[in-house]
């Protein structure tokens, strides 16, 4: 399913080139306070300009690109992780059951056997402390990837994520960097109960100094994993419990995506639908219905939850003048709430209607299947909202 929509995305026009996106850009070594950064790698990394990735995928006649290979999303994450661990011996993984067990969703399967028990570290159940340990290791030169077995468990690590992960680069006056990746499965699954169904992106979004991205396809999962590992900033990578078995054909060539960019899923004219993670699929399902009813929605997977890609989003708003946000966060203080504020602040003149935000109900996710279904946004609600918005 993901591949089809990538193909549709290929029809989007190439945007104007942005300075930081040229492929073999090198930056001058940094003094404190300068804008230039040292790339952590010596090798040129293929940071694709937007749209080009989709183009490569959809282009069947290009002789330059290979046919690619098919895999599931959790395998794509592992592939990205493994490539980075091969490339840089400082990259290591720590978390509960990441080693011998292979990870609760098999993202790290086989890695401990290949890299050893210290590089793929099985930790005791002490989230706050092993997250802090990862931060201390990052400050002293390593590049750890810290896995929360379920994102909800990272609530225990909030002290370290907020105070140390986000802040120490600043409070140390720029002396210590914290290149960690904190990742794990979150979101509402299939009757996992309230505490295993949490969306922490809303809690972490205010922490200064961190970046947050959410993957939704095998293609962007691998690309974002690699980008997050290479980033000098602490990055929280949100995966979704229900998306791990998505299958897609991804390129054989190495690629790294941009952490700050949004992804055009389906260009359109009538309404901008902004979404991320699992809700992308509910949106695309609703889009089918909407297309049959004669609507032309533009669907953007924002991918970068913090910071927002106001360029892609803004261009879309300027074209369609109507915005619908579909997210899995709670209504109160969620990503949608922040996004609504950001769009209103920046693009109020381009809006023909108030921004509509569809979020999950402010309810602890119930166990019963029927109740659980009603807490998250369903495609029918999205169709109704677009119809109302476009009146």
Partner 1 sequence: MASSFLSSGIIQPLPLRSPDKPQTLFDHLKTTSTFLGSTSKLRSVSLSKPNLPNPHRRSTVVAVSDVLKEKKTKSAASSSQLLITREEGLELYEDMVLGRAFEDMCAQMYYRGKMFGFVHLYNGQEAVSTGFIKLLKKEDCVVSTYRDHVHALSKGVPARAVMSELFGKATGCCRGQGGSMHMFSKEHNVLGGFAFIGEGIPVATGAAFTSKYKREVLKEDCDEVTLAFFGDGTCNNGQFFECLNMASLWKLPIVFVVENNLWAIGMSHLRATSDPEIWKKGPAFGMPGFHVDGMDVLKVREVAKEAIQRARRGEGPTLVECETYRFRGHSLADPDELRDPAEKAHYAARDPLTALKKYIFDNKLASEAELKAIEKKIDEVVEESVEFADASPPPPRSQLLENVFADPKGFGIGPDGSYRCEDPKFTEGTAHV
> Which CB atom, from 118 or from 371, has the smaller least distance to partner 1?
118
Binding footprint of partner 1 on the chain (CB under 8 A): 15-16, 18-20, 32-33, 35, 37, 89-90, 92, 116, 118-119, 123-124, 126, 128-142, 159-160, 163-164, 168-179, 208-209, 211, 231-233, 259-261, 304, 306-312, 314, 346-347
What radius of gyration do the chain's Cα atoms show? 20
* Smallest separation (angstroms) from partner 1 to the CB of 136: 2
Separation between Cα atoms, residue 11 and residue 22, nearest integer Å: 21
- Decide: 227 and 203 in contact? Cβ < 8 Å: no
* Closest alpha carbon to 331 in 274, 270, 377: 377
Separation between Cα atoms, residue 89 and residue 102, nearest integer Å: 20
The two beta strands, 235-240 and 181-186, are parallel
* Smallest separation (angstroms) from partner 1 to the CB of 99: 13
Peptide bond before 307: cis, by omega within 30 degrees of 0? yes
Separation between Cα atoms, residue 355 and residue 338, nearest integer Å: 12
> Which CB atom, from 101 or from 350, has the smaller least distance to partner 1?
350
* Closest alpha carbon to 377 in 279, 307, 308, 242: 279
208-235 burial code (b ≥16 CB/10 A, e <16) = ebbbbbbbbbbbbbbbbbbbbbbbbbbb
> Which CB atom, from 104 or from 315, has the smaller least distance to partner 1?
315
Residues belonging to the active site:
127, 196
Separation between Cα atoms, residue 51 and residue 263, nearest integer Å: 8
> Which CB atom, from 171 or from 384, has the smaller least distance to partner 1?
171
> Which CB atom, from 160 or from 360, has the smaller least distance to partner 1?
160
**Distance linking the first and last C-alpha atoms of the chain:** 30
> Which CB atom, from 2 or from 180, has the smaller least distance to partner 1?
180
Q: Which residues contact 33 (CB under 8 A, 6 or more apart)?
A: 174
* Smallest separation (angstroms) from partner 1 to the CB of 341: 13
Q: Which residues contact 161 (CB under 8 A, 6 or more apart)?
A: 131, 154, 182, 204, 207, 210, 236
> Which CB atom, from 164 or from 360, has the smaller least distance to partner 1?
164
* Smallest separation (angstroms) from partner 1 to the CB of 21: 10
Beta bridge partners of 181: 145, 235
């Amino acid at each position: 399913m993901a591949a089809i929509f990538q193909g549709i995305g290929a029809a989007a026009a190439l945007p104007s080139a942005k300075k930081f996106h040229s492929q073999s850009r090198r930056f001058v070594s940094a003094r404190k306070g300068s804008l230039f950064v040292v790339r952590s790698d010596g090798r040129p990394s293929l940071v694709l300009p937007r749209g080009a990735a989709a183009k490569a995928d959809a282009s069947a006649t290009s002789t330059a690109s290979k046919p690619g290979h098919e895999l599931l999303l959790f395998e794509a994450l592992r592939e990205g992780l493994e490539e980075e661990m091969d490339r840089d011996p400082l990259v290591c993984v720590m978390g509960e059951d990441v080693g011998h067990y292979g990870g609760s969703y098999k993202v790290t399967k086989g890695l401990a056997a290949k890299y050893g028990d210290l590089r793929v570290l099985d930790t005791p159940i002490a989230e706050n402390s092993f997250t802090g340990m990862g931060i201390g290791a990052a400050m002293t030169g390593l590049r750890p990837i810290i896995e929360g077995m379920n994102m909800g468990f990272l609530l225990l690590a909030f002290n370290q994520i907020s105070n140390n992960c986000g802040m120490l680069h600043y409070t140390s006056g720029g002396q210590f960097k914290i290149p960690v990746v904190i990742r794990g499965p979150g979101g509402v699954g299939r009757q996992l109960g309230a505490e295993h169904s949490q969306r922490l992106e809303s809690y972490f979004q205010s922490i200064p100094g961190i970046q947050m991205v959410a993957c939704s396809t095998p293609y962007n999962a691998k690309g974002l994993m690699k980008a997050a590992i290479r980033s000098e900033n602490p990055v929280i990578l949100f995966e979704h419990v229900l998306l791990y078995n998505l299958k897609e054909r991804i390129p054989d060539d190495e690629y790294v995506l941009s952490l700050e960019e949004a992804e055009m899923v389906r260009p359109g004219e009538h309404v901008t639908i902004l979404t991320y993670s699992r809700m992308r699929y509910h949106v695309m399902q609703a889009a089918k219905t909407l297309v049959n009813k004669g609507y032309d929605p533009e669907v953007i997977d924002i991918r970068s939850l913090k910071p927002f890609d106001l360029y892609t989003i803004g261009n879309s708003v300027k074209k369609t003048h109507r915005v619908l946000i579909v997210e899995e966060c709670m209504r109160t203080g969620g990503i949608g709430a922040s996004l609504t504020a950001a769009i209103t602040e920046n693009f109020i003149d381009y809006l023909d209607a108030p921004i509509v935000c569809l979020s999950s109900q402010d309810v602890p996710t119930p166990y019963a299947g029927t109740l659980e279904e009603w807490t998250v946004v369903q495609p029918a609600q999205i169709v109704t909202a677009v119809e109302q918005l476009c009146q």
